[in-house]
Chain A
Amino acid sequence: MIRVVLPFHLRNLANVGSEVQLEVNEKTTLQSILDALEVRYPMLAGTIRDHVTKQRRPFLRFFACGEDLSHVAPDTQLPDKVITGEEPFLVIGAIAGG
């Protein structure tokens, strides 16, 4: 079971709490987590990555186990602790005031 922590506004759109749990049957990569998230919560499609290009939105970052995963290739295997559910996969909005 993969744990994913979402930012405030995406929790509201998906009507969920701060953390959601996902079943990822295939190899646990950045792409497979985001695919599973969008299948489970289709209202989030397009909000984290572009509908067409699948590029991460510029003001969002991905972290897990203290590592910045924002720039890793989509098919990169995620850390074991994320796969076992010991650590969550974090979707974080860039800090910006105003």
Chain B
Amino acid sequence: MKSVRVLVGTKKGGFVLTSDASRAKWEVNGPFFAGWEVYHMKGSPANPDRIYASQSSGWFGQIVQRSDDGGKTWFQPGFKKGEPTATPEGMPMTESNKFAYNAMERPLTTHQWYDGTQHPWEFKRVWHMEPSRTNANTVYAGVEDAAIFKSTDGGSSWQELSGLRGHGTGSKWAPGAGGMAVHTIIEDQNNPQRIYVAISAAGTFRTDDGGKSWKTITKGLSSLYIPDPHAEVGHCVHRIAMHPARPEVLFMQKHWDVMRSDDAGESWYEISGNLPSDFGFVVDVHAHEPNTVYVIPIKSDSEHFPPEGKLRVYRSRQGGNEWEALTNGLPQKDCYVNILRDAMAVDTFDPCGIYFGTTGGQVYASSNGGDSWNAIVENLPSVYSVEVQAIL
């Protein structure tokens, strides 16, 4: 039977929301990893029962969790219940939470700190898990301080793709308010050697050789909050989205400005058009209409809540510039939540389902492409991330 699974990472644990394909009635499972911050949970396109989760804590650091049964049970890769966890010599079988920068390959340098001084690179946490589209055991992790790691053994061990950190512009990268992290990873479905990443606040990068070398793709971005608004790096990119059928077209929500590229990031142009604010965090693309784009405007960089206290999703069916407010079922007064960068997702049913989570603990869903909305859960901890799986 067709069903839907919504994976929700929150400030105090992870949740799995399930429904049949009607998406009318929802069951809430969790909290998993209760009391820990769950920055992101994402299922493998190659095996939907395989889900990866990033669990972290200011006290105990980073933990990677994995489920092989669609989110019912979880384990740290390499530490499955009933299986040996150490070699006969007493050495750990795996180190699934070890994210060590490859200093042999690329020296550990420094990046810019908030006050403009240089600060050493230090691993803090995994912000984003991106399972490969084709292999359930291959998964990428975007981490703070900014770097990308890859696992080919189901998350049991991680190797840095150090060419990104070693790009050479690293000394000019700076943390945003939340830290300096790789938060967006997009694999090109037609060309697995091509991967896009975005970093706050460095910009966006592309590799065409599977992660060995990276180039900045920031031409056309303009950021008034950095000394040179058109600099190669320093742009605070919040999220990039791509439709798999049209991989050369990218949509970006930047710190300010909604942007679009039609040439795989080689150049960008603004498509903010009639939005009430072009500040925001999320951007996503309709599953069946590559030119239909969704954003949720936020008032400003100083006031992280919807303009006028009205929670409105904006949809453009023209690939940008002309936007319509979607308000049916969303609070239209006294709403002062935020929607963080990883907290919007779309399912692949027809009509397309759209989902987003708020810092107020609501997850809203639309089963008709955004025409109407309802809260499928209302009182979770602050939502960090939302992903969805359509189970066929």
Q: List residues of chain A with CB under 8 Å of any chain B CB.
A: 7-10, 13, 15, 38-39, 42-43, 45-48, 50-52, 57, 59-60, 93-94, 96
CB neighbours (8 Å) of A45 from chain B are: 92, 95, 97-98
CB neighbours (8 Å) of A48 from chain B are: 60
CB neighbours (8 Å) of A93 from chain B are: 59-60
Assess A39 versus B85: contact at CB under 8 Å? Given A9-B60, A93-B59: no
Tally inter-chain residue pairs, CB-CB below 8 A.
58
CB neighbours (8 Å) of B46 from chain A are: none
CB neighbours (8 Å) of B62 from chain A are: 46
- Flag whether B36 is at the interface (Cβ < 8 A): yes
CB neighbours (8 Å) of A47 from chain B are: 60-61, 63, 97
B60/A57 in contact, CB under 8 A:
yes
A59/B85 in contact, CB under 8 A:
no
CB neighbours (8 Å) of A15 from chain B are: 81
Instruction: Please pick, from A7, A8, A51, A94, the residue contacting B95 in the complex, using a CB distance under 8 A.
Output: A51
- Flag whether B367 is at the interface (Cβ < 8 A): no
Name the residue of chain B whose CB is nearest to the CB of A47: B60
A42/B59 in contact, CB under 8 A:
no
- Flag whether B100 is at the interface (Cβ < 8 A): yes
Instruction: Please pick, from B35, B60, B79, the residue contacting A42 in the complex, using a CB distance under 8 A.
Output: B79
Interface 1/0 per residue, B44-79 and A, CB below 8 Å: 000000000000011111110000000000001001
Instruction: Please pick, from A42, A52, A59, the residue contacting B92 in the complex, using a CB distance under 8 A.
Output: A42
CB neighbours (8 Å) of B36 from chain A are: 9
- How far does the alpha carbon of A1 sit from the alpha carbon of B108 in the complex, in Å? 41
Contact-size category for B = 20 to 34
Q: List residues of chain B with CB under 8 Å of any chain A CB.
A: 35-36, 57-63, 76, 79, 81, 85-86, 90-95, 97-98, 100
Assess A13 versus B63: contact at CB under 8 Å? Given A43-B85, A47-B97: yes
A57/B85 in contact, CB under 8 A:
no
Q: Knowing that A45-B92, A93-B59 are A-B contacts, what are 19 other residue pairs whose CB atoms are under 8 Å apart, sorted by A's residue number?
A: A8-B35, A9-B35, A13-B60, A15-B81, A38-B92, A39-B92, A42-B86, A42-B92, A42-B93, A43-B79, A45-B97, A45-B98, A46-B61, A47-B61, A47-B97, A51-B95, A57-B59, A57-B61, A96-B58
B86/A59 in contact, CB under 8 A:
no
CB neighbours (8 Å) of B100 from chain A are: 51-52
- How far does the alpha carbon of A59 sit from the alpha carbon of B63 in the complex, in Å? 16
A60/B86 in contact, CB under 8 A:
no
- How far does the alpha carbon of A46 sit from the alpha carbon of B92 in the complex, in Å? 12
Least CB distance, B220 to chain A, in whole angstroms: 39
26 inter-chain pairs at a CB distance below 8 angstroms, sorted by A residue, are A7-B59, A8-B35, A9-B36, A9-B59, A9-B60, A13-B60, A13-B63, A15-B81, A38-B92, A39-B86, A39-B91, A39-B92, A42-B79, A42-B86, A42-B93, A45-B97, A46-B95, A47-B63, A51-B97, A51-B98, A57-B59, A59-B58, A59-B59, A60-B60, A93-B59, A94-B59
Assess A60 versus B59: contact at CB under 8 Å? Given A13-B76, A42-B85, A42-B86: yes
- How far does the alpha carbon of A46 sit from the alpha carbon of B63 in the complex, in Å? 9
- How far does the alpha carbon of A51 sit from the alpha carbon of B12 in the complex, in Å? 24
- The DSSP consensus for interface residues of chain A is loop
Name the residue of chain A whose CB is nearest to the CB of B96: A43
7 tightest A-B contacts by CB? A42-B92, A47-B60, A59-B59, A39-B90, A51-B98, A43-B79, A93-B59
Assess A9 versus B90: contact at CB under 8 Å? Given A42-B79, A45-B97, A46-B95: no
Interface centre among B36, B60, B93, B97 (most CB of A within 10 A): B60
Least CB distance, B241 to chain A, in whole angstroms: 32
Name the residue of chain A whose CB is nearest to the CB of B89: A39
CB neighbours (8 Å) of A8 from chain B are: 35
CB neighbours (8 Å) of B95 from chain A are: 42, 45-46, 51
CB neighbours (8 Å) of A52 from chain B are: 100
CB neighbours (8 Å) of A43 from chain B are: 76, 79, 85
- How far does the alpha carbon of A46 sit from the alpha carbon of B93 in the complex, in Å? 14
A9/B85 in contact, CB under 8 A:
no
Least CB distance, A24 to chain B, in whole angstroms: 13
CB neighbours (8 Å) of A7 from chain B are: 59
- How far does the alpha carbon of A56 sit from the alpha carbon of B215 in the complex, in Å? 37
CB neighbours (8 Å) of A59 from chain B are: 58-59
Assess A10 versus B60: contact at CB under 8 Å? Given A47-B97, A51-B98, A51-B100: yes
- How far does the alpha carbon of A43 sit from the alpha carbon of B98 in the complex, in Å? 11
Name the residue of chain B whose CB is nearest to the CB of A50: B61
- How far does the alpha carbon of A54 sit from the alpha carbon of B47 in the complex, in Å? 36
